Copies of this chain bind each other. A is one copy, B any other.
Amino acid sequence: MRIALDAMGGDHAPYSTVNGAIEFIQDNSLDSPYVDLYGNQDEIEKIIDKSGFSSDKITINHCTEMIDMDERSVKAFRDKPDSSLVRAVSSVKEGKSHAIVSAGNTGALLTSSLFILGKIKGINRPALAPFIPTQNGGFILCDAGANSDVKPKHLVHFGIMATAYMEHLVDIKNPRVALLNIGTEATKGNELTRQAYPLMEEHVSNFIGNIESRYIMEGKADIIVCDGFVGNSVLKLIEGLIKHLFSWLGDSINSKTTSKLASPLLKPAFQDVKNVLDYEEHGSTPFLGVNGIVMKCHGSSSVKSIKNALKSAAKACNENLINDIANRISKHLIINSELENV
């Protein structure tokens, strides 16, 4: 197996990407998949040399361009065919590698994946499905931002795809799928969720009904389905609110003499919670519905995060995630023909 890695993507690239690849290969020793690095050969070689690592499991594919984090996605894809990101995606299309990992520009990665690899048959809208850790484990949020305006049938696809992904990658069988809504009854919500509810009931194997955002952290559902506008708002609010509360509690503790004294004793307890919340452990998000394994890492991914993303990509390849999604969707193609306008 060969995994293509966009070595120039991410705030700490290529240091984080190259060392992530090295650690991944070291962890897997002889059984390791190959990692094909795409990026600036000189820069990559310097980092490899410095690490003292040497293995035929790693290859360097020189690229003359790179896509910045804030470039417009379609323009970047069109204007930079020799960028590390586009070349890594193309390598899967050309049969040279089996999966892509990138911490680069999300929009450019999604656009390139769609243009180059296309979609799984029956899927109209690929979706982002990050894992959100909580005290009780966590859940997958789908879609977390790939599609701002969707139709009810797309929410059904998100539920089916995320179910397959969760069964393979997190080893939870028949995960509980809930529809994010502003009330629990089937008749609550906006036009989108009201129309999606009966479709979810019919087509998603373990659909448990609506869930209000108040309860998503409580472990009541394994997969939370919503449109990408709401999902992106939820995802970013969780990140922002956690940061805000930790900083606020820290300031409050330090503003009081007695609690300030106790603060060193607390660090391990705070750190335990922070460790679970750490996106680096669960840092990669698949583009579900793309006809190929594409794992997107957080822009600020570290070495550990890249290593874990490579692991997830290898697992998805081994377990044939794309075929499994295609098979599941093929059993529900009726919603595409029945619901042309829904």
Contact = CB atoms under 8 A, between A and B. Distances in A.
A214 B229 contact: no
A227 B124 CA distance: 26
A30 interface: no
Given A233-B180, A248-B273, A240 B218 contact: yes
Interface stretch (A110-118, A262-270, A314-322, A330-338): A262-270
Contacts of A270: 249, 252
Nearest to A267: B259
Given A217-B241, A232-B182, A149 B268 contact: no
A341 interface: no
A244 B135 contact: yes
A255 interface: yes
A251 B218 contact: no
14 contacts: A135-B251, A182-B229, A214-B237, A234-B237, A237-B238, A238-B241, A242-B245, A245-B273, A252-B269, A252-B272, A255-B272, A258-B265, A262-B262, A266-B266
B273 A182 contact: no
A229 B190 contact: yes
Contact of A241 (B227, B241, B266): B241
A177 interface: no
Interface of A: 134-135, 145, 148-149, 180, 182, 189-191, 193, 212-218, 227-230, 232-234, 236-242, 244-245, 247-249, 251-253, 255-256, 258-259, 261-262, 265-266, 268-270, 272-273
Contacts of A248: 135, 273
A308 to B, nearest CB: 23
Nearest to A241: B241
Given A236-B213, A266-B259, A268-B256, A134 B230 contact: no
A189 B233 contact: no
B240 A213 contact: yes
Given A233-B233, A269-B252, A245 B244 contact: no
Contacts of A149: 190-191
